[in-house]
Amino acid sequence: MSRALKVAVDGGPYALTAGPDGAMWVTLVHAGAVARISAGGEVTVHAVGEGSRPSIITAGPDGALWFTRSGDDRIGRISAAGEQSEFELPSGSAPFGIVAGPDDALWFTAMTSGVIGRISTDGEITTEATVGGMPSMITRGPDDALWFTLNEGNAIGRLTARTRGGQENSRTRGGQEGGGTLTKRQLPTPAAGPVGIAASHDDAVWFTEIRADKLGRIPMNDAIQELDLPGKPHAVVADPSGGVWVSLWGADQLARVSDDGEVITVDLPSGSEPHGLAIGPDGAAWVALESGFVLRMPN
């Protein structure tokens, strides 16, 4: 069990992830930095660059943390010791979502150029599919495919990952610019504005609809389900004990949603602007508040 913890972090905490060192790593979108928060709440800030706008961060297969830099069109890498490197994308890409894939590489979205990209741990970058529709967040699904939200396309995309030898890690071979098979599923609600997405423990993918005030769920090979969840839901993460946590950006709340749709909300201070969510090493949910704090919820 862990107790609640509130840590002040200047610079606009946006997204976070558990690192291999037992700490939480947080992007500071306004400060152009990445912060490390120890289990006890000690903060170490690593400057990235003015205007870099670090956005989403994830633990990589190489023991480092990888993050998107939406402000200067780069993918960043930082080791647990704080050593950084960067990898340049075409100008105007606006990378945003990033996740470790099933193939020992990182997969990312580029909002402006509308592509799904792959970067190996040695920095080789390939375009795996051009999807349009402002791809936003991305996750590795229960089926080892890459699932992502299309914010302006009002759809959820799925792309299978091939190995570098030409075979796919999931299902059949496709023809998407050197990648795997691409499919898109339109949302039942028009102009829903999907953003966050996460695989859960019930063989489903959950996603948020920020403009429609809904939470969506896609069971593998089944119809899309939607649940009303007012408050501009933004990010979603699977809870190890079942269900999901959702940040309600417009309501200054968190929501805990069970597998059967029961909703419990947690009020946050006014003006918190909750964004990214992650599960810590102890199974507790952490949330980044753009107002300047990171919270660990009790579990």
| Residue closest to 126 by CA, chosen among 162, 150, 155 | 162
Mapped onto helix, strand or coil, the DSSP state of residue 213 is: coil
- 244 strand-pairing partners: 238, 257
| Residue closest to 161 by CA, chosen among 118, 213, 220, 217 | 118
| Residue closest to 107 by CA, chosen among 79, 135, 133 | 135
Residue with tokens 């500071």: 28
Contact at 8 Å (CB) between 295 and 4? yes
| Residue closest to 14 by CA, chosen among 273, 284, 231 | 273
Contact at 8 Å (CB) between 235 and 276? yes
Q: How many degrees, rounded to 5, is the angle at CA 20 between CA 30 and CA 168?
A: 95
275 part of the active site? yes
Contact at 8 Å (CB) between 286 and 279? yes
Q: Determine the Cα–Cα distance for residues 185 and 189; give it in Å rounded to an integer.
A: 12
Q: Determine the Cα–Cα distance for residues 35 and 23; give it in Å rounded to an integer.
A: 10
105-110 and 95-100 strand pairing = antiparallel
Whole-Å CA distances, 153 to 32, 163, 170, 255:
29, 28, 24, 26
Catalytic one among 30, 46, 201, 275?
A: 275
- 247 strand-pairing partners: 254
Residues labelled as active-site residues = 275
